[in-house]
Amino acid sequence: MRGWWWVYTHRLPRAGRAFEYVARERQRLLEMLGVPVGPPRSRLVLTDGERVAGRERLLANGAGIDRPLAALVLSAGEPAKEWPVESFAALASALHTDGVQPVLFEMPGDAEKAMRAQEISPAIVRIAVPALRDFMGSLAACDVLISADTGPAHIATALGVPRVTIFGPEPPAAWAPANDPTVIALRAQSARGLGIVPKSDPRASMLMAEVEPARVRAAVRDLLARTRS
């Protein structure tokens, strides 16, 4: 707010404050104005037809619904925030061993990475992402989403789909709702105590790569046990 402080009637200082889920941070601005707020959780609504079509799309692409479905999204918009393709593939193979069907939603621009992941792990069912609401319908039929810190992770929460989100450059506290039993946020052990790591810093990609597939697999197991019991 440097240079613009005088145009504000209320200011919410950031310096010295602990990281906080971004939706809750925005709520604090409303509270300063006397506006009552509820739980900081977004919500997206699908029609019954969209949900049926989403499930049928999964079936048509070979994702049977006789086992839990784990959605995978490889891209994160910025290379420094992406989990390695090899890690996704190793996770997919492990999940398939656990009786979970990995479904890779191929985002625009992800064709080469998606093909590489499927080559390493043939257990992957690969689906090119259609229009946004079609994607939402299919995601809603899945039992869990595994991705980096990216838009589909927040869509999953808004749809009520449990998620395991892998963080690297940014602390999970800023982008994962606190005390939500349907969300597990993971970050490299070496990032303990770190705040935001600039994405131009070589450590950013290293932090992503340090999160082992076995750790993500354990988180998926935990989440499925919680949400499917």
The band of 34, judged by pLDDT with boundaries at 50, 70 and 90, is confident
126 vs 189 pLDDT, higher one:
126
Query: Most confidently modeled of 20-34, 112-126, 175-189, 190-204?
Result: 112-126
Edge to edge, the sheet with strand 144-148 lists 125-128, 101-106, 69-73, 144-148, 163-167, 183-187
Rounded Cα distance between 86 and 13, Å, is 41
The band of 1, judged by pLDDT with boundaries at 50, 70 and 90, is very low
Spell out the domains of the chain, with CATH numbers in brackets.
48-227 (3.40.50.2000)
pLDDT value at 14 more than 80? no
pLDDT at position 171: 79
Q: Which of 15, 19, 12 is nearest to 171 (CA)?
A: 19
| Residue that the structure tokens 């999970």 belong to | 172
Tell me if residue 83 falls in helix, strand or coil: coil
The band of 197, judged by pLDDT with boundaries at 50, 70 and 90, is confident
Each residue's pLDDT tens digit, 144-153:
999 999 999 9
Structure tokens that stand for 93 in this block: 């193979």
pLDDT value at 211 more than 50? yes
> Which residues make beta-bridge pairs with 187?
167
- pTM equals 0.85
Each residue's pLDDT tens digit, 142-184:
999 999 999 999 999 999 999 999 998 777 777 677 778 899 9
Lowest mean per-residue pLDDT among 74-78, 110-114, 169-173, 193-197: 193-197
Structure tokens that stand for 70 in this block: 């784990």
Q: What is the mean pLDDT of the chain?
A: 87
At position 53, the amino acid (one-letter code) is: A
Residues written for the chain? 229
Rounded Cα distance between 141 and 229, Å, is 17
> Which residues make beta-bridge pairs with 127?
105
Centre a 10 Å sphere on the Cβ of residue 13 and count the other Cβ atoms it contains.
7
pLDDT at position 40: 65
- On whether the CB atoms of residues 142 and 103 are closer than 8 A, the answer is yes
pLDDT at position 87: 97
Helices (H), the chain: 22-32, 48-60, 85-97, 111-120, 132-140, 151-159, 172-175, 203-209, 213-227
